Amino acid sequence: MKFEHKPVLLKECIEGLQIRPDGIYVDGTLGGGGHSREIAKKLSAQGRLIAIDRDTEALEAAKENLKEFSNITYIHGNHDDLKNILEELAIDKVDGILLDLGVSSYQLDERARGFSYMGEAKLDMRMDQTQDLTAYDVVNSYSEEKLIHILQEYGEEKFARQIVRNIIKERKQKPIETTMQLVSIIENSIPKAKQKEGHPAKRTFQAIRIEVNNEIEPLFETVKQSIECLKSKGRLCVITFHSLEDRSVKKAMVQAEGVCTCPKDLPYCVCGCKSEGKMINKKPIEAGLEEQKENTRSKSAKLRIFEKQ
Task: Read off the pLDDT of residues 208-238 as tens digits, 9 standing for 90 and up.
Answer: 999 999 999 999 999 999 999 999 999 999 9
Round to whole Å and give the CA distance between 142 and 195.
26
Q: How far apart are the first and last CA of the chain?
A: 44
Rg of the chain on CA atoms, in Å: 21
> Between residues 10 and 109, which one has the greater pLDDT?
10
Candidates 1, 45, 48; CA nearest to 27 is 48
> Between residues 57 and 269, which one has the greater pLDDT?
57
Q: Which CATH number fits domain 10-101+218-308: 3.40.50.300, 3.30.360.10, 3.40.50.150, 1.10.645.10?
A: 3.40.50.150
- Condensed to tens digits (0 to 9), the pLDDT of residues 152-186 reads 999 999 999 999 999 999 999 999 999 999 999 99
- Condensed to tens digits (0 to 9), the pLDDT of residues 182-192 reads 999 999 999 98
Q: Looking at residue 238, what is its pLDDT?
A: 98
Candidates 150, 129, 152, 130; CA nearest to 138 is 150
279 neighbors 308 (Cβ within 8 angstroms)? no
95 neighbors 88 (Cβ within 8 angstroms)? no
Residue 111 carries which DSSP code?
G
H or E stretch covering 288: none
Percent share of the chain, pLDDT over 90: 81
Candidates 218, 236, 217; CA nearest to 276 is 236
∠ at Cα 249 (73, 52), nearest 5°? Answer: 15
Round to whole Å and give the CA distance between 253 and 236.
10
Return the SS3 of 50. strand
Residue 1 has pLDDT above 50, yes or no: no
Q: Mean pLDDT across the chain, nearest whole number?
A: 93
The mean pLDDT of 110-120, rounded to a whole number, is: 82
Residue 116 has pLDDT above 80, yes or no: yes
Candidates 22, 34, 47, 20; CA nearest to 239 is 34
Q: Which amino acid is at 276?
A: E
For 111-117, which contacts have Cβ atoms below 8 Å and span 24 or more sequence positions? Answer: 111/179, 114/179, 115/205, 115/209, 116/179, 116/205, 117/179, 117/182, 117/183, 117/199, 117/201, 117/202, 117/205
Round to whole Å and give the CA distance between 106 and 3.
5
Residue 306 has pLDDT above 60, yes or no: yes
- Burial label, 135 (beta-carbon count in 10 A; 0-12, 13-18, 19+): buried
Superfamily of domain covering 120-212: Putative methyltransferase TM0872, insert domain (1.10.150.170)
- Burial label, 117 (beta-carbon count in 10 A; 0-12, 13-18, 19+): buried
Confidence band of 263 (pLDDT split at 50, 70, 90): confident
Annotated domain spans of the chain: 10-101+218-308, 120-212
Percent share of the chain, pLDDT over 70: 96
